[in-house]
C-alpha cells in the first residue's frame, strides 16, 4: 500500500470532481470492489443511484447462490452499503435479459462444441446494454462499475487501459465493449491495487470490507456446469461419441462434448498421453485430440469485433485469447477494413490453444483497443 487512505481518496476524487452533480448509476454487485466504487463517487459529489441487478432465481439452487456474485445475499449486502453511504438504491429485475443474452447462448454453445464466456456477454448485453437503457430512464449520464480497468480521456476521445493491479486486471472481459458504451462507463477503482480497495472499504466502514470474492459463474454457484446444463434441458451436448486423434485414429469413447473444452488436457484418461482437445464436433459428437506440440495455435478467426480505438498504421499490437495468457505479439488482418466486424488474428509465435466462444482482446501496450469472439482456431 503506497499511500494512506486520505491521500488515495483525494487523488481519486480529483479525477471525478469535474463530474460533480452529474447523475451516475453505481452497478453494485454486493462485493467490496463495487461498494468502494459507490462510496468514492459519493465522496466526489456525484449524484449516485445504487442499482443491483437481479439476474437469476436463486431459489432454484440448493446453495442459494452462496459464494457466487449477484445472489440474494449479495443484494442484501449492496443495500446495506447504499444505506450506509446514504444513496438511493434499487434492485432491478434483469432475469429476462440475462436469460436471453447470457444463459441461452451459454447452453447453446456447449451443445455445439463452443466454450462460452458468460461474464463477457453479461458485461456487453446486460451491464452495458440493458443497464445503460435503464440509466436513460433514470436520466443518468454514466454507469459506474467496480471493474479493474482504467479510463483516460484525451482530446481525441476516451481510452481504456488495463487495471493497475495486474493480478486483478479485468480488461479482457470488457474487450467487446463498444466505443458508444465505453463513453458512458466509469471505473473509479481501476487504478487501485486490490489490497488498497480493501483498505478503503475498512476506512469507510463498509459491510463488505472483509467479504470473500466470488469464484463461480454466478448462475452456477455450486460450480457444477454439467449438472446445470442437464437441468436446463441440454441434450445434444450429452450425446456419446468417439475420441480420435487428428488422423482419425480411434482412442476411446465419451459421454458428450459438453464434458470437454478446447485446450483441455486433464481428465481425458487416454493412453500414450499427454493429449489436448483440439476440436469438438457438435454434428458428429466427435472429440479430436492431439499431443501438446500439435495443439499449438498460430491463427484465430474473430467475429463480432468492436473497437474502443482502432489500431493506428504501423502500431505494435498484442492479443490474448484466454484470460490467463499474457498478451502476445500479433498482426490483425481485418476483413474489409477495421470498420468490419471480422478479422484474422495471426500470432508471431505459436500459442497454447483456445476455444471458439472465448474472447480475443487486442492491446497497444497497456491500452485496450477492443476485441471480439473467437469463431475458429487454426493449429500451428
Residues catalogued as catalytic = 122, 218
DSSP class of 274: -
Residue labelled with grid coordinates 490467463: 324
Residues forming a β-bridge with 367: 161, 364
Residues forming a β-bridge with 345: 300, 332
Residue of 251, 222, 260, 220 lying closest to 111 (CA atoms)? 260
Nearest-angstrom CA–CA distance, 154 and 145: 21
Residue of 92, 69, 93 lying closest to 208 (CA atoms)? 69
Between the two ends of the chain, the Cα-to-Cα distance in Å is 43
142: CB partners within 8 A, 6+ apart: 19, 22, 23, 24, 25, 135, 184, 185, 186
List phi, psi (to 5°) of 136: -60, -40
The number of C-alpha atoms within 13 Å of 314 and in the hemisphere containing its C-beta is 0
Residue of 116, 181, 90 lying closest to 357 (CA atoms)? 116
Nearest-angstrom CA–CA distance, 71 and 54: 8
Contact 26, 144 (CB under 8 A): yes
DSSP class of 340: S
108: CB partners within 8 A, 6+ apart: none
Neighbours of 299 (CB within 10 A): 18
Write the Ramachandran bin of 273: left for phi over 0, alpha for psi from -120 to 50, otherwise beta: beta
Q: Report the C-alpha dihedral over residues 53, 56, 57, 62, rounded to 10 degrees.
A: -120
Amino acid at each position: 500500500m503506497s499511500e494512506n487512505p486520505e491521500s488515495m481518496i483525494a487523488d481519486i476524487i480529483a479525477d471525478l470532481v469535474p463530474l460533480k452533480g452529474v447523475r451516475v448509476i453505481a452497478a453494485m454487485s454486493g462485493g467490496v470492489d463495487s461498494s468502494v466504487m459507490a462510496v468514492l463517487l459519493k465522496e466526489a459529489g456525484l449524484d449516485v443511484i445504487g442499482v443491483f441487478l437481479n439476474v437469476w432465481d436463486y431459489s432454484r439452487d440448493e446453495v442459494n447462490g452462496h459464494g457466487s456474485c449477484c445472489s440474494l445475499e449479495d443484494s442484501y449486502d449492496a443495500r446495506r452499503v447504499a444505506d450506509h453511504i446514504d444513496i438511493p438504491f434499487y434492485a432491478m429485475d434483469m432475469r429476462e435479459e440475462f436469460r436471453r443474452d447470457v444463459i441461452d447462448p451459454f447452453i447453446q454453445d456447449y451443445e455445439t462444441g463452443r466454450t462460452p464466456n458468460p461474464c463477457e456477454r453479461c458485461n456487453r448485453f446486460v451491464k452495458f446494454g440493458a443497464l445503460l437503457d435503464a440509466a436513460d430512464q433514470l436520466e443518468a449520464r454514466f454507469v459506474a462499475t467496480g471493474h479493474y480497468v482504467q479510463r483516460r480521456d484525451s482530446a481525441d476521445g476516451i481510452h481504456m487501459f488495463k487495471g493497475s493491479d495486474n493480478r486483478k486486471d479485468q480488461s479482457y472481459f470488457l474487450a467487446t465493449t463498444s466505443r458508444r458504451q465505453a463513453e458512458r462507463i466509469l471505473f473509479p477503482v481501476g487504478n487501485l491495487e486490490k489490497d488498497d480497495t480493501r483498505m478503503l472499504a475498512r476506512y469507510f466502514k463498509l459491510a463488505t470490507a472483509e467479504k470473500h470474492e466470488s469464484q463461480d459463474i454466478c448462475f452456477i454457484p455450486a460450480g457444477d456446469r454439467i449438472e446445470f446444463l442437464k437441468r436446463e434441458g441440454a441434450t445434444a451436448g450429452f450425446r456419446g461419441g468417439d475420441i480420435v486423434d487428428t488422423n482419425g485414429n480411434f482412442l476411446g469413447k465419451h459421454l458428450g462434448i459438453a464434458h470437454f473444452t478446447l485446450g483441455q488436457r486433464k481428465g481425458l484418461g487416454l493412453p500414450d498421453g499427454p493429449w489436448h482437445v483440439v476440436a469438438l464436433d457438435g454434428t458428429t459428437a466427435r472429440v479430436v485430440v492431439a499431443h501438446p506440440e500439435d495443439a499449438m495455435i498460430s491463427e484465430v478467426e474473430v467475429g463480432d469485433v468492436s473497437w474502443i480505438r482502432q489500431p493506428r498504421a504501423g502500431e505494435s499490437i498484442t492479443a490474448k485469447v484466454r484470460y490467463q495468457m499474457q498478451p502476445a505479439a500479433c498482426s490483425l488482418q481485418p476483413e474489409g477494413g477495421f470498420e468490419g466486424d471480422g478479422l484474422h488474428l495471426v500470432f508471431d509465435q505459436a500459442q497454447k490453444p483456445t476455444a471458439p466462444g472465448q474472447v480475443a482482446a487486442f492491446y497497444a501496450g497497456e491500452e485496450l483497443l477492443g476485441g471480439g469472439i473467437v469463431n475458429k482456431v487454426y493449429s500451428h
